[in-house]
Structures are given as C-alpha cells and as structure tokens.
Amino acid sequence: MNRKHLLAEYEKLVQLADELSRQLAACREIIEVVIGGVYHSRVKWHQKTISEVISAVVDIQYSLELELRLIEAQKAFLARLIDRNNDIH
C-alpha cells in the first residue's frame, strides 16, 4: 500500500470513529432522558418496559463501544504503517 492509500483509509476510520462517538453520545442521552423522566414522573411506563428500553440501549452502547475500540486499534496500526512508510521515503 502506498502512503496516499493508507492516509485515505485512516481518514475513513477517523470519520467512522466520529460517527460512532456521536451514536454513543445519543445512547447516553437516551438513557439520561428515560431515567430523568422516571425520576421526575414524566415517564409513566411500566417498570418492565423501562428496564427493557434501558437494557436495549445499553446493549447497543456496548456494541458501539466495542466497534469503536476496534476502529481505534485499526487507526493505531495504520498510523504506524504510515509513519514507517514516511521514514522509508
């Protein structure tokens, strides 16, 4: 792979990581809204429904976090390749 290709791949990973970070923030916000709504009696859902919603969002959040960690590892690997490629030229 040449440096230009590696940099393009790295940029794709950066954009994907940014999108995952936004999705993770949305998950945290959903959980906070549900919990805050329950605490302030704005949410009148059955306890089981609340638990299921929070559990589903947490499952999504964990999946996104795992994907983000894998992308961060790929970014680190590509960064090393780019640095090595740069040292050669």
Check residue 87 and give its pLDDT.
62
Check residue 88 and give its pLDDT.
56
SS3 label, residue 4: helix
Check residue 39 and give its pLDDT.
84
Euclidean distance between CA atoms 36 and 34, whole angstroms: 5
Residue stretches of the chain with pLDDT short of 70: 1, 87-89
Residues in CB range of 78: below 8 A, 6 or more apart: 6, 9, 10, 13
pTM of the complete model: 0.81
Check residue 75 and give its pLDDT.
97
